[in-house]
Amino acid sequence: MVGKEAGIFAPPTETGFRPPVSIRNSEVVIFPEVRLTRRQKQMLTLTVQGLSIKDIAEELSLHIGSISIHRRHIKDAFGTDSMFQSIIKAANMGILDVSELTKGMDKEALEKLSKRELEVLESFSNSNNPKETARSLHIRPSTLHKDCDSIRKKLGLEKNPQRGLAYLPSILLYMGAKKENVLPPKEFTDLSGKQKVVLKLTLSGYSAKQISEKLNHTTNCIYARHHKIFESFGVSTFTELLIKLVDKKFLDPRQYIEDVKKADSNFLKNVDSADISSLLSVISSDEWVFLNAFVTGNKKGTTNKEIADVLNVSTVTIHGSILSISKKLGGAKREHIAMWYLAATNAEGE
């Protein structure tokens, strides 16, 4: 069926939707539910890269009027009312590679965002428009606009120059992090700003006393924030917290060990923290069994008594083994021992 402007219509999909595509001067690129010309794919990519309509016209040697026609065809192909929703759909379908588009962006900056700001990005990533997003989060459109501007500034990103796409870079960064499974854990986003600072410093190897001096707070204040952090993650000890963060890929045990070593020169002084053979040379075979059970038990929230029952030994034996390992590692704390174990065993798995 021939349409206006020498376009053609693709065969109906299962939903009955027939997206129009132009084949003038371009080969047709076919995706599961959408057909795009090579030129339209180029337009999507250049738009995401932050070029204005005028710049895209110059880049593709097209008249601005032709750009408008291509934009309309793209929106028709995706069944959307805006380029914004078309780009988000293209990213969700894999037509646009968000990992490649966000390469080099600081995904760790997402940790700076509040819980609601992340919810805003999640809503947009599901192809919801601003009106739908504001309604789903029960906020005013003006509040949503302020949130989007705050998100952009925290992520250190420039606005996209095209109308309606100002905050597109922030959304694609979020989608890229989600695809790579490097989003901050939900428990982390539930923390207050000050609690996040304390947690990050803790994960950088700082003790409660060092954090209190750095932030000019009392040690009791830091302990109180630690307690709130434990509650948020549903744990009762630092060991459980650190192991949980490693499982969520929010913490690299080897980097953690290196940070602790910088803070305490005696820790692992003569041991390679990422060498499994070095680990086995330091501790006995029995201690290895107890250490393995200790870390595995903390992953599952198992008590020392339950661990002892499984190994058919007393809790005194468990405590004695951990204390012995601690002395061999320069007086390491339990959480440090667990991270050392994970750093070494993860390295062996690689």
For 181-205, the pLDDT digits (tens) are: 888 888 888 888 889 899 988 888 7
Tokens of 226: 């630690």
Domain boundaries along the sequence of the chain: 4-96, 100-184, 186-234, 248-349
CB 211 within 8 A of CB 222: yes
**Percent of the chain clearing pLDDT 90 (strictly above):** 23
Fold equal for 100-184 and 186-234: no
Pick the CATH number of 248-349 from 1.10.10.10, 3.90.550.10, 1.10.390.10, 1.10.645.10: 1.10.10.10
Per-residue pLDDT of 162-175, as tens digits, reads 878 889 999 999 99
- Give the C-alpha separation, 308 to 293, whole Å: 9
Lowest pLDDT segment from 162-166, 273-277, 278-282, 311-315: 273-277
CATH of domain 4-96: 1.10.10.10
User: What pLDDT is attached to residue 13?
Assistant: 41
* pLDDT: which is higher, 274 or 201: 201
* CA distance from start to end of the chain: 56
Which range, 217-231, 298-312, 326-340, is most confident? 217-231
Tokens of 184: 């901050």
CATH architecture of residue range(s) 100-184:
3-Layer(aba) Sandwich (3.40)
Tokens of 304: 């020392």
User: What pLDDT is attached to residue 256?
Assistant: 83
User: What pLDDT is attached to residue 4?
Assistant: 36
User: What pLDDT is attached to residue 28?
Assistant: 42
User: What pLDDT is attached to residue 280?
Assistant: 60
Per-residue pLDDT of 242-251, as tens digits, reads 998 888 888 8
Tokens of 180: 């790579």
Q: Does domain 186-234 have CATH number 1.10.490.20?
A: no
Mean pLDDT, residues 59-69 taken together: 88
Q: Mark 148-163 as b/e (b = at least 16 C-beta within 10 Å).
A: bebbbebbebeebebe
Lowest pLDDT segment from 95-99, 202-206, 274-278: 274-278
Comparing C-alpha atoms, which of 89, 321, 111, 271 is closest to residue 199? 111
- The CA R_g of the chain, rounded to the nearest whole Å, is 27
Q: Interhelix angle for 219-233 vs 238-247, to 10°?
A: 50
pTM of the complete model: 0.67
